[in-house]
Structure 1
Amino acid sequence: MKAQGQTVEFRVLQEKDRSEHIPTDKELAEAKKSSWIRIPRYDYTPSERLRIALSGGQWHHGSEWADSSECPLEEQLAEIVHEIGLRGEAAERKRLAEVEEARQRRLRWEAAMAEARDQYAEDYRIRHLESQEAAWRRATRLSEYLEAARAHMATLPPGPERRKAEEWMEWATGHVARVDPMVQQLRLPDIPEPRADDLKPFLRGWSPFGAY
């Protein structure tokens, strides 16, 4: 049977009466012949008394109720029904607690994901800034070299050698302009959509795939 979703197994068992076993002549003869034979001490016979056993769910006041001269089983039925109800209520409380725990965990995971995205974006901006600084230093060194190269080129007489130097300087000047961040527009970089592996370093143990 089920009580608020909790399965409770309900078994009705027949009690047995125990009595002293009176050995038969055959048993006595066999025991005398073979030392390994043991004559039972008691006999068990079915009685008219019944016993009800419950299993499944959280135990509260009991799991078994038996007939007795002081309290027949039928007078204990209300207690049995109450126990089944308590187990159902406990199961429902547990289910609701698990649902709430899962909801809270989901909220914590969503907050962790939002924070990880913010940290990822901040880290990306920092790396972009550092990359720009490194590019600016390279461009500055190249610009200094180009100034020296122009000074040298000015000393060359007109002719093939100077034309080749001018072609080279034209390309080199364009290259420096392309890599120098100061020549480009300064603005916040566009943050690419992070992949799962991008967020892992910022999730503090959370999975990027779900609340687990």
Structure 2
Amino acid sequence: MMEKLETEGSIEFDSSESGKYRQLANVAKREKLFPDDMELVIDKSWHKPCSITLQRRPEWQLVELEPIEVPATVRSSHSVIARLKEQRPKRQGMDTPRWNWTLRIVQALALECDKRGYKIEATPALNINPHRRYYDDPHKGQIKISIGDDSAELDFRQLRKTIPKILTPAEERRRANGQYVATEESVKTDWIAIKLSGLDGEFWKTDWAETDELRTDTFLPRLLQEIELRAARAVDRRALKKQREDEEQQCWQNVHDQAVAQLNEKHRADVLYDQAKRYQRAELLADYIAAMKVKARTMTAADAEAAEKWIYWAESHMLSINPLRNELRMSSNPQPDAEAIKPFMRRLSPYGPGRSFY
């Protein structure tokens, strides 16, 4: 497999063979059959063949991280330590060794954050409302680390494990009678776990847990790098979002300006056609009034007097509708409100970018 990957870079396989290739990838990693700056990536997809690829690891994985020293004791404690002790008198349910170890971890993080210019603070303790199912307080961790406008919270917990329970004679009798009796119990271990929250999307991982071989001080640099990487990505996402919003705003503004121009053109054309129609009507009335005057000369005196009144009103009306009686100039533009420009917005919202058309 490795020889083929070194020459072709990728191998496609059926989904039924995914287990085999995953095992092969684990063996290749354990036996160090590829350089440290490379990795095997298995891609499983329903719409295309599965594949395993030998590719270069991301640059952030290759950065040489400086170790973060955890003090043996907390003598000159950071202000966040005092705040943490004050807000967590029950020590998060930890035993004394694990709580002291957690305080030393927080001390190391606090000093490193001060060194890098980050803000670190203790979050308020959770206030549990007995009448509600959920916590009132939105905080998910005991400490919060802020890098610029972005922050992440770290939740420290003592790990627990399940062990067989030694039953009392009474419990043995209840079990023999068919009653349910728990045969396992949860006990505290010598390890702590840290859960990262507040910034979505992981690079290394979100849940960090100690083991017999791995203690927190060994992965503390990566944990802090994880926060930095997520914060940097949040900055990039906001910049990209701002760029898209600016482009959307500019696109909308261009369409809006064109819509206003088209509205003005339509309004002027409507005014012009209206003036032309009024002029035609005025000319028609002028011809008819001239014929009325000729007719009135053949009428009797009484009928001619009545006709003169009608002719007088007709001439006044004809003059009032004749646009040439007024000053000739460009008409003023209409008010470009949302309803007026809607027919010219090319299905974009007249109320602003990103808003509903209706």
TM-score (norm 1): 0.86
Corresponding residue to 2:224 among 81, 84, 89: 81
Match of 2:334 in 1: 192
Corresponding residue to 2:192 among 50, 58, 70: 50
Match of 2:173 in 1: 29
Aligned pair count?
209
Deviation of 1:72 after TM superposition, in Å, equals 1.7
Deviation of 1:104 after TM superposition, in Å, equals 2.1
Identical pairs, percent? 24
Supply the distance in 2 between the matched residues of 1:16 and 1:174 (Cα, whole angstroms): 102
Supply the distance in 2 between the matched residues of 1:36 and 1:47 (Cα, whole angstroms): 30
State the secondary structure of the residue aligned to 2:170.
helix
Corresponding residue to 1:163 among 305, 324, 344: 305
Matched, 1:121 2:264: yes
Kindly provide the CA deviation profile for residues 81-116 of structure 1, in whole angstroms up to 9, marking residues without a partner as x.
000111111111122222222222222222222111
Kindly provide the CA deviation profile for residues 181-205 of structure 1, in whole angstroms up to 9, marking residues without a partner as x.
3444444222233333212222233
Query: Which structure's CA Rg is the greater one?
Result: 1
Matched, 1:20 2:164: yes
Corresponding residue to 1:11 among 143, 155, 167: 155
Match of 1:135 in 2: 278
Supply the distance in 2 between the matched residues of 1:19 and 1:81 (Cα, whole angstroms): 34
In proportion to residue count, which structure has more helix? Answer: 1
Supply the distance in 2 between the matched residues of 1:183 and 1:86 (Cα, whole angstroms): 76
Deviation of 1:176 after TM superposition, in Å, equals 1.0
Supply the distance in 2 between the matched residues of 1:17 and 1:178 (Cα, whole angstroms): 98
Match of 1:174 in 2: 316
Deviation of 1:67 after TM superposition, in Å, equals 1.4
Supply the distance in 2 between the matched residues of 1:195 and 1:69 (Cα, whole angstroms): 70
State the secondary structure of the residue aligned to 2:212.
coil
**Per chain length, whose mean CA-contact separation is higher, i.e. which structure has more relative contact order (CA < 8 Å, sep 6+)?**
1
Contact preservation (8 Å) 2:174, 2:181: no
State the secondary structure of the residue aligned to 1:37.
coil
Q: Which moved more, 1:140-149 or 1:47-56?
A: 140-149
Supply the distance in 1 between the matched residues of 2:220 and 2:248 (Cα, whole angstroms): 42
Deviation of 1:17 after TM superposition, in Å, equals 3.5
Q: Which moved more, 1:46-55 or 1:198-207?
A: 198-207
Contact preservation (8 Å) 2:282, 2:321: yes
Deviation of 1:178 after TM superposition, in Å, equals 2.0
Supply the distance in 1 between the matched residues of 2:296 and 2:179 (Cα, whole angstroms): 118
Match of 2:111 in 1: none
Kindly provide the CA deviation profile for residues 46-89 of structure 1, in whole angstroms up to 9, marking residues without a partner as x.
12211111122122210111112322221000010000111111
Supply the distance in 2 between the matched residues of 1:191 and 1:12 (Cα, whole angstroms): 67
Contact preservation (8 Å) 1:4, 1:89: no
Pairs within 5 Å for 1:84-123: 84-123=227-266
Structure 2 residue runs of 5 or longer lacking an equivalent are 1-143
State the secondary structure of the residue aligned to 1:92.
helix
Deviation of 1:168 after TM superposition, in Å, equals 2.5
Corresponding residue to 2:204 among 52, 61, 69: 61
Supply the distance in 1 between the matched residues of 2:246 and 2:348 (Cα, whole angstroms): 15
Supply the distance in 1 between the matched residues of 2:179 and 2:283 (Cα, whole angstroms): 104
